[in-house]
Structure 1
């Protein structure tokens, strides 16, 4: 029997989710995201996760392929993203990821 996850509803009751993990839930929605991936070594990778991007699903190890990579440039408190010229994407393994910040974007 599959070990499905739970999500809280607005009234704080639990709802059974068909996805196995939060990773599967987020990426199964088919949304476009700007992602800021914080790596375990302290580095940060930014990119656009959209139609040509891909993630693995349970029970496979979490992996992500981001179709466009960006460079994060800081100017004081302000952060700007600049696309990496000729970027064909970047693949990252769960072994490298500490946490991910998601920002919804338009396709």
Structure 2
């Protein structure tokens, strides 16, 4: 809430913060029930938080995929460069013999 007073975050950030807050509150309530001898933590439902965890893991997955494609491209370029250098060196050796 303090951050929202300073600057209004975009909708995705607000949604994630709200869901995280709801999950934290449910976890606190379940823990409180477990600490009480007669409490039933199963009576407290978990909020719908699957979308937050899925979107987070899918964006991480896409960043990893992009990074691995970039590394793969750099590796191919490096291999071609090394191959070209070897061919040039072999041509020089053949020319001097």
Query: TM (normalized to structure 2)?
Result: 0.24
**Higher helix proportion (structure 1 or 2):** 2
**Higher strand proportion (structure 1 or 2):** 1
With CA pairs under 8 Å and 6+ residues apart, which has the higher RCO, 1 or 2? 1
Query: TM (normalized to structure 1)?
Result: 0.23
